[in-house]
Structure 1
């Protein structure tokens, strides 16, 4: 395979992306998988591992960073806004359909964690999507908010309000870590959050791991799971039974409403299925789903 740096227009800026192209002669346009990360994540945090497996199986992959993150444009940096990220998804899908050697009717959307929720919304709004994969997806803002200890939730909310008020007066953004140890002021503070995220970071990389704090006020109001019944393509929900970030019970409830939904369950935590043996099992299940529903010819 080859990996090329590309970029595409999105809203008022541009998203940076990697384009994976399988090698080998073929006159048949290939399916393409559009991929993006979750809460504050960027491509370098193990998305390359998944894209390499998919490309090895013959799929083109477009792996992008949201605006305000990674190599993409946008100020302030680390601004996580749900509406803007969903706009980036629509732009990524539109761009993927224009790529040489790609079948515009065989676009698959793949998202993980918070991006898994974006995949549900994107597939529900675009009937041309061929298939979707939502990995350990965020589906229910209330369930995820209730999983946060009350004191931590109060501290996070206070920082988010301070950031929002300051933004109205043109002040510099107030940021908040995306993860931290239990008891810290961060968006994810379960015992497995800090070690789990650190396993995704490339060795020696100095990647930002915070976001603009006002985002925390959006979480409790966001319910991408409500859109599952509107997804008219095959969709795979890869669910970790011991998920402390996106509680599995609510995710399974929403997944059951998808007309063409499939579920794979793992006796693992939210971050386990990115690495090691759980990754191997997870990616094998995803490749089997793709082979059934969007085969490479």
Structure 2
């Protein structure tokens, strides 16, 4: 499949590929830039309950036009990947999917296996920090509006909403123990609705990322409402030895900026770019153009041959 390139109208090519994580097939897109030389590669995945069709193709096309191969995957239990029960977000499983994706990238022809980097956004912005701290050989990391601290994000919700999510989470954990279907909670909702994200920009911002004619379930198994509290991947930033770019939204209503900035300051080779937008606005319009340009400049500096 041919996709449009950058201003020079070069053509990049995308193919459907898959790899195994655990016992399940993980579906992915592989973008290859023009040219015959081995290309550096970005491993990419979306945030909380997000799937690759929610504008990750727009990012990958831009990176590919700049000379980067991209492996863009859906987590197990989500999107086009296998895994059941559906919509169950297990943090350990998702981190295993990242490790499996990196391992698969190392088997690909036409890829510079010494220049494999990670790109994550929102919840996966935390995953790429954790993965780079644990998986050797990562060249660089881009963490866009990253989720870095479960407690900080939980504090963005009102206490009554938190209490109701906790009750659903307990019911879901009991259901899992008894072998029953998961108890679900909405991913995004309007203010005061029971949802994992209910800031004023959450529902319209999330839905704006869903392509017309595509259905993305707005729910996950409620157990995440408890397990997410212990997930603080920002603490691992100090162990990320490769260059890492934190793209931080000043008005982030989901992943507060201040904890991320504190963690970023501890990354040995950390860089920070600030944006005045909110958590969901960074994916579209002029904000998207600015953040992608900054990310490509960072990658060109640290990953391309002859860079820093």
TM-score of the two chains, using structure 1 as the length reference: 0.98
Select the structure with the greater relative contact order (CA < 8 A; seq sep ≥ 6): 1
Q: CA deviation at 1:296?
A: 5.7
**Over residues 191-241 of structure 1, what are the superposed CA-to-partner deviations in whole Å (9 max), with x where a residue is unaligned?**
010011011110121121211111111111111011000000000000000
Q: CA deviation at 1:137?
A: 0.4
Match of 2:24 among 1, 13, 32: 13
Find out whether 1:39 has 2:48 as its counterpart.
Answer: yes
Aligned to 2:123: 114
Q: Distance in 2 between matches of 1:60 and 1:223?
A: 30
**Over residues 95-144 of structure 1, what are the superposed CA-to-partner deviations in whole Å (9 max), with x where a residue is unaligned?**
00110010111001000000000000000112300000000000011111
Q: Distance in 2 between matches of 1:296 and 1:159?
A: 51
Aligned to 2:14: 3
Match of 1:74 among 74, 78, 83: 83
Q: CA deviation at 1:78?
A: 0.6
Q: CA deviation at 1:23?
A: 2.0
Question: Would you say the 8 A contact 1:179–1:189 is kept in 2?
Answer: yes
Find out whether 1:190 has 2:212 as its counterpart.
Answer: no
- Tell me which moved more, 278-287 or 166-175: 166-175
Match of 2:254 among 230, 245, 249: 245
Aligned to 1:268: 277
- Number of residue pairs matched? 295
SS of the aligned residue for 2:223 comes to helix
Question: Unmatched 5+ residue regions in structure 1?
Answer: none
Aligned to 2:6: none
Aligned to 2:7: none
Aligned to 1:23: 34
Q: CA deviation at 1:29?
A: 1.3
Question: Would you say the 8 A contact 2:46–2:52 is kept in 1?
Answer: yes
Find out whether 1:93 has 2:102 as its counterpart.
Answer: yes
Moved over 2 A (4+): none
- Tell me which moved more, 77-86 or 204-213: 204-213
Q: Distance in 2 between matches of 1:164 and 1:238?
A: 34
Q: CA deviation at 1:89?
A: 0.2
Question: Unmatched 5+ residue regions in structure 2?
Answer: 1-11
Question: Would you say the 8 A contact 1:30–1:103 is kept in 2?
Answer: yes
Within 5 Å, give how 1:126-145 maps onto structure 2.
126-145=135-154
Question: Would you say the 8 A contact 1:140–1:222 is kept in 2?
Answer: yes
Question: Would you say the 8 A contact 1:5–1:19 is kept in 2?
Answer: yes
Q: Distance in 2 between matches of 1:185 and 1:156?
A: 7
TM-score of the two chains, using structure 2 as the length reference: 0.94
Q: Distance in 1 between matches of 2:82 and 2:305?
A: 33
Find out whether 1:258 has 2:267 as its counterpart.
Answer: yes
Question: Would you say the 8 A contact 1:20–1:62 is kept in 2?
Answer: yes
